[in-house]
Chains A and B, each alone.
Chain A
């Protein structure tokens, strides 16, 4: 079979990566690599660690045997000198001439050395290769004062290297008025400057070096302003120049300021020749980072193995630690008002500067700069790249959450599955999560099986969070299954039942479960079926909890209590009279409930349909006191009577209670509406509470009374009636769909990652893009409301179920006994 020959010129990180990617895709090629350096490819990104105790072999990306095992012929210490494009051959320094089918230029870049008199003197170095480092190391042993030319990223790296080598006094000379002009703004640069100065680095800005002074070796720097600085050695790190000389010689198109011009397939002006990495010039830009270089390598490897993909620019976000100081710049770091809104935090005491640029509508993060504390870098970068909608208070992203609310919702687990976590190796969140699911639980295992974190290493913290998050999620998953009959959480089962349109319990069990069900999954599924299809629940009465089965609350002694709905706690005298008459007729104990209605206790199961027949006749409806459903919306008397009332809280409470009545949810729901800030309806102890303000309503959610009281938290303020209802619609529907069985809204929120900010974002900003759906689903439930008791009263078959003895339907349970207490009955047992 024909094996095309691919010659790779350059054995740096990108050239090596290209070989690796090509082998992974196809064994169909004959690969030959030429390298100028005497060693196999090594990690240039972490070059400064060479002075920190790492050896050259520690930095190696591979082994000699790797090349051999993969059939790659390696020519080290032998730079390619000439390309003959017509013959399709190359010629190397050592005299090797070889024919190629495709040529890949990965010649990288060299240090830019400005044309300054004296540059050839001893003691002047560049900082690019291990060889450079060895030279610096030897010379530094006898040097006390060192200087670095260049205050950019590489210059500061070099300064760090000098410090590590034990140079007593290190100077950084920068021509521009600020440090790292390509990555950070002047305020950030100022912060970095003072931080680096405090660490003992001498920094000279606006300094233009005129000459390197000295006999044979360098002794001093002379500047344009006629000042000078005595030094023992000098490292030049004033930028990079693409290594395009070979390409130029071969007549390939190059840029005026250097770089081999390529198209989006990384093809040069000769279609058999590609250029990747720092020597490639794409749309006028040299990409001087390793990640885009790897991406370019992947593009060529794809192209050669028949899968086309293109290069369309690359995210140049970067994070590094410079001499112990975190510096990061991501997304569009320099965009300014009026094209965006900028939030800046500056702490000169701690040396922290943070800037984020957000879109004018406040929805998206565009970019930013972090100095001194870059912990948030990964998640901010992900927020930019995945266009994640910002929380209502985006400043929390850089300041942390302040005040009572839970921390921001932008946790790593909230990233979309396709979020790129490791950009060097193009590893997505889902690949990492599935590796964890398959048993890789440590960063080393993840590195091994996904390669994530093996490039620049910047994503390692994020990968660790993902490992922890996924494992935690798996742990919860086990805990979250409904019961032994269903290996699903309620939320999962909810979705399954919905998608498959299953409408009865036995089918749900047959499709998604095992065994015969139990008292845990039956009511949970009943609730799901009801929340989805809103059918009459007593049609499947035996999967309902006893209260739902008999549409009344079972009490001591086996009797039931009856609670008619009294929306907002408002009731006419005539209706009060009916309740009194019914209670008297059936011998019931009456009590006002905490939710502003009247409970009638002590009803025999046989009497329930009779009692309800009379109540319905008088205009009452079921109060769902027996169900995991809306109980009451408590209200104060409001502006119609109260001299303090701002709005008509009773009317609004009635409107809301009527809207949500009958809707089944994971647990009971209570609401409240107060007409002013005095809060007589105690709305903040409810699942949703509404309090009138001068301008509208404040809406609070996820409060709870009960055994663990918890105040509701503010969701939105000064909103009108329609907005208030829309938010409650979404809130309730989201809760119904996602909460575990028998979980109140407060607990649901407490367990929610991201807490209130996240929930706010879902409800108000539609961060999940489901708001419209939630609105529709809620409206469907509202539209299909029916009074359950009316259905039963009018249906003889259903009525028949309300008997104590199946073989003596008219007989009441003889074991039920009452005694008298304060002129009413009381169960005796």
Chain B
């Protein structure tokens, strides 16, 4: 479990930089972070940009959506449609992949990604 004190909040962009119900890629040093504006739900999510399936830097270009009765938010890789939970980062297709997720907060139209 993380505590708030351990998180460094990095300004990623402004809210209107990321398309509604879509993603964009944020550069943080050498790291690429996929940031998702789930405007339909009024939620923001962030994950690693690399799809672990074929090692492609593309998750930010994937389509987001939900699955199941509890409407788990997810992103599907544009390459081979591997889907990952935006909450837990687990692969929802039953494959043994796991992606990193980041907390996101929005203040005054600015989007911050929490880096541990």
Contact = CB atoms under 8 A, between A and B. Distances in A.
Interface of A: 484-485, 506, 509, 515-519, 521-523, 541-543, 545-547, 549-550, 554, 556-558, 801, 804-808, 811, 813-816, 829
A515 B35 CA distance: 21
A50 to B, nearest CB: 61
10 contacts: A517-B66, A518-B65, A519-B83, A545-B78, A546-B63, A546-B79, A549-B61, A554-B58, A805-B32, A808-B27
Interface of B: 12-13, 17-27, 30, 32, 35, 38, 40-41, 55-58, 61-68, 71, 73-74, 76, 78-79, 81, 83
A502 to B, nearest CB: 16
Contacts of A807: 12-13, 17, 26-27
Contact of A804 (B25, B30, B38): B25
B40 A516 contact: yes
Given A545-B78, A554-B78, A816-B57, 15 more contacts: A515-B71, A516-B71, A518-B76, A521-B65, A522-B65, A546-B78, A550-B61, A805-B25, A805-B32, A806-B26, A806-B35, A813-B25, A814-B30, A815-B57, A829-B55
B73 to A, nearest CB: 7
Closest 5 CB pairs of A and B: A542-B22, A546-B78, A518-B65, A519-B76, A516-B66
A541 B78 contact: no
A813 B31 CA distance: 11
A537 to B, nearest CB: 13
Contacts of A543: 21, 63
Nearest to A800: B17
A699 to B, nearest CB: 36
Nearest to B68: A484
A541 B66 contact: no
Contacts of A485: 65-66
Given A806-B24, A811-B27, A518 B63 contact: yes
Nearest to A541: B19
A558 B81 CA distance: 14
Contacts of A550: 61
A518 B67 contact: yes
Contacts of B21: 506, 517, 542-543
B22 A518 contact: no
Contacts of A808: 27
A797 to B, nearest CB: 10
Contacts of A546: 58, 61-63, 78-79
Contacts of B58: 546, 554, 558
B73 A516 contact: yes
Contacts of B74: 518
B17 A806 contact: yes
B68 to A, nearest CB: 8
A484 B67 contact: yes
A509 B78 CA distance: 21
Contact of A519 (B25, B55, B81): B81
Nearest to B35: A806
A519 B63 contact: yes
A1 B28 CA distance: 90
Scoring B18, B63, B68, B71 by chain A CB atoms within 10 A of each residue's CB, the highest score goes to: B63
Nearest to A522: B63
Contact of B12 (A549, A806, A814): A806
Contacts of B25: 804-806, 813
A801 B27 contact: no
Contacts of A509: 40
Nearest to A804: B25
A264 B64 CA distance: 66
Contacts of A484: 67-68
A516 B56 contact: no
Which of A546, A557, A558, A806 gathers the greatest number of chain B CB atoms within 10 Å? Answer: A806
A780 B69 CA distance: 40
A542 B39 CA distance: 12
Nearest to A523: B63
Nearest to B41: A516
A694 to B, nearest CB: 49
B19 A542 contact: yes
Nearest to A813: B57
A557 B13 contact: no
A813 B58 CA distance: 10
Nearest to A605: B61
B20 A542 contact: yes
B61 to A, nearest CB: 5
A364 B68 CA distance: 51
Nearest to B78: A546
B13 A806 contact: yes
A620 to B, nearest CB: 25
Contact of B26 (A541, A557, A805, A814): A805
Most B-side CB within 10 Å, residue of A506, A521, A542, A829: A542
Contacts of A815: 32, 57
Most buried by B among A516, A518, A521, A815: A516
Contacts of B78: 545-547, 554
A557 B56 contact: yes
Contacts of B30: 814
A237 B56 CA distance: 87
Contacts of A805: 25-27, 32
A516 B81 contact: no
Listed residue (B12, B35, B61, B62) with the most chain A CB atoms within 10 angstroms of its CB: B61
A617 B65 CA distance: 38
A375 to B, nearest CB: 47
B73 A545 contact: no
Contacts of B23: 542
Given A554-B58, A805-B25, A807-B26, A545 B63 contact: yes
Nearest to A545: B78
Nearest to B40: A516
Contacts of A519: 62-63, 65, 76, 81, 83
A804 B64 CA distance: 18
Contacts of B13: 806-807
B48 to A, nearest CB: 12
B19 to A, nearest CB: 5
A804 B25 CA distance: 6
Contacts of A813: 25, 32, 57
A546 B12 CA distance: 23
B18 A806 contact: yes
A541 B24 CA distance: 12
Contacts of A506: 21, 40
Residue in B32, B55, B65 with the greatest tally of chain A CB atoms within 10 Å: B65
A515 B73 CA distance: 10
Contacts of B71: 515-516
A356 to B, nearest CB: 52
A516 B64 CA distance: 8
